[in-house]
Homo-oligomer: A and B are copies of this chain.
Amino acid sequence: MFKVNDNYCKLPATYLFTEIARRVNTFQQENPDAKIIRMGIGDVTRPIIPASIDALHNAVDDQADSSTFHGYGPEQGYDFLRSRIAECDYAKRGIHVDINEIFVSDGAKSDTGNIGDILSIDNIVAVTDPVYPVYVDTNVMAGRAGDFDGQHWSNIVYIPCTAENSFIPSLPERRPDIIYLCYPNNPTGTTLTRDQLKVWVDYARANGSLILFDSAYEAYIREENVPHSIYEIEGAREVAIEFRSFSKTAGFTGLRCGYVVVPKELKGVDANGNDVYLNPPLNRRQTTKFNGASYLVQRGAAAIYTSRGQEQIKATIDYYMKNASMLLDGLKSIGIEAFGGVNAPYVWLKTPSGLSSWEFFDKLLRDAKVVGTPGVGFGPSGEGYFRLTAFSSHEATSEAVERITALKI
């Protein structure tokens, strides 16, 4: 009989957002008139900016005529988009990224999962805790995680980030081969300064570790000393892959576009200890297992780099960040400790009165009819925390703040 990859059987059956949906549906059925405000899943709500809408319509028209029709595109992405990325996301910040180091994809979720294809299953993986569940689950599926004790996977190194250490991860005691870092952070909304990120780049250089740096939320950075790219740190090109997404930058959660940067200098070793550069295998993976992001969507993405596009996405991000600020102010006004929300669209709060994450979830749903995400769903160090997102409308956010501040807690 053919054999299934039974690493899949190790994964706990319930996925965080499935359990949230289940509880919300039950509550809604029991309280059909309740007007629930959803601030759980990190999905955007504002429409695509006019600059991209125009580009999308034009791209659709291209496909309607054989003289402008675009069939298979380059698997790595069109140069019209890669050149804009290299120029606007990097060169303008003084960073050199060659367009052949950029791989355009259908989104950062695919990229952060697929990058594992080119890495040996023998590597030891480290994650900050709490963490975006995809990093852990994709390593479980690949066979890198070991066994689960209900909280931790035996082969994964967890690096706690809590209020006690101001959400600054300490260097691990056990040396990892691969380190996932996401800044601005999902779920905590916290950031590292350049100096704090440099500690990790230096560690990776000294220890032969690879940093997988997810900067999907960089467009939300407001403070000067917070790096937008890990390549702002000296030496990072030798140790880091960077993931970017148009989902939160430009509302492309439904359109699907992201990219990954793999510098030419970046190398690991094969089973015999010989150097292997990472850019060629990723290129081979993409040309073999992927056929490029949709032409339409790449045109839509390129339009955000026009000056009109830049103004428009800034307005959308300002809109969400006003929500973040309302949330932070509201929570603090009733004495709840809250973090993030300054350089990120997430607010991470300490649950009051010693409630567990799920107890607070149930209380907030029942008493305020507001849905958030229990921190423990992101890892054991998330217990006692809770995530709210800034992606709703002003009206919904304002209403949610009113309801939360009216709670007796």
Contact = CB atoms under 8 A, between A and B. Distances in A.
Interface of A: 1-6, 8-9, 11, 15, 41, 43-48, 50, 53, 56-57, 60-61, 63-66, 69-73, 106-107, 109-110, 113-114, 117-123, 134, 137-138, 141, 177-178, 208-210, 251, 253-256, 268-271, 273, 276, 278, 280-281, 284-285, 287-297, 393
B287 A5 contact: no
Nearest to A15: B287
Contact of A119 (B4, B106, B293): B4
Contacts of A254: 63, 69-73, 292, 294-295
Nearest to A75: B109
Residue from the set A113, A251, A254 with the largest chain B CB neighbour count within 10 Å: A254
Nearest to A53: B64
> Which 8 residue pairs are nearest across A and B when measured between Cβ atoms?
A113-B289, A1-B208, A3-B120, A2-B177, A6-B270, A8-B281, A71-B253, A43-B71
A109 B291 CA distance: 7
Contacts of A9: 270, 276, 281
A47 B66 CA distance: 5
Given A46-B69, A60-B57, A66-B45, A119 B3 contact: yes
5 contacts: A2-B210, A8-B276, A47-B69, A110-B291, A255-B295
A138 B289 CA distance: 7
Nearest to A136: B288
Contacts of A287: 15
A30 to B, nearest CB: 25
Given A2-B177, A290-B109, A296-B255, A47 B72 contact: no
Given A46-B66, A47-B65, A256-B293, 7 more contacts: A3-B268, A5-B117, A56-B60, A56-B63, A69-B251, A71-B251, A296-B296
A225 to B, nearest CB: 29
A285 B117 CA distance: 14
A15 to B, nearest CB: 7
A288 B134 contact: yes
A8 B117 CA distance: 9
Contacts of A72: 41, 43, 253-254
Contacts of A56: 60, 63, 296
Contacts of A53: 60-61, 63-64
A269 B9 CA distance: 11
Given A2-B269, A110-B291, A8 B48 contact: no
Contacts of A285: 8, 141
Contacts of A45: 66, 69, 71
